[in-house]
Structure 1
Amino acid sequence: MANLRQELLGSELTWYTAFSELLPLLAVGTIPLLKVERICQEINTGSLTIENSITLSSPVASFSFSASASFEVRSPSRIQVQFKEGTLKPPEIKSSVDLPESIDLFGQKINLSPARQVVNPLQDAVAGIARSISGQSPLKIPIPGERAASWLLVTYLDKDLRISRGDGGLFVLAKEGSPLLDQ
Structure 2
Amino acid sequence: MRYTAFSELLPLLAVGSIPLVKVEKIGQSIDTSSLTIENSTTLSSPVSTLSFSASASFEVRSPTRIQVEFKEGTFKPPEIKSSIDLPESINIFGQNINLSSIQQSLNPLQNAVEGIARTISGQPPLKIPIPGERTKSWLLITYLDKDLRISRGDGGLFVLVKEGSPLLDY
Listed as ranges, the matches of 1:12-161 within 5 Å are 18-21=1-4, 22-161=9-148
Q: What CA deviation, in whole Å up to 9, does each residue of 1:35-90 have, x standing for no partner?
A: 01111100000110000001000000000010000000000110000100000000
CA distance in 1, matches of 2:56, 2:73: 9
CA distance in 1, matches of 2:161, 2:167: 7
* Conserved 8 A contact 1:68-1:83: yes
Shift >2 Å, 4+ stretches: 21-26
* Conserved 8 A contact 1:19-1:26: no
Shift of 1:157: 1.1
Corresponding position of 1:182: 169
* Conserved 8 A contact 2:77-2:120: yes
* Conserved 8 A contact 2:151-2:159: yes
Identity %: 78
Structure 1 or 2: larger helix share? Answer: 1
Q: What CA deviation, in whole Å up to 9, does each residue of 1:85-115 have, x standing for no partner?
A: 0000000000110011111111111011221
Normalising by structure 1, what TM-score?
Answer: 0.87
Number of corresponding residues? 166
CA distance in 2, matches of 1:104, 1:93: 24
What secondary structure is seen at the aligned counterpart in 2 of 1:74?
A: strand
Code of the residue aligned with 1:93 in structure 2: it is I
Shift of 1:19: 3.5
Shift of 1:31: 1.0
Shift of 1:161: 1.1
* Conserved 8 A contact 1:82-1:150: yes
Normalising by structure 2, what TM-score?
Answer: 0.94
- Structure 2, unaligned runs of 5 or more: none
Alpha-carbon RMSD: 1.0
- Structure 1, unaligned runs of 5 or more: 1-17
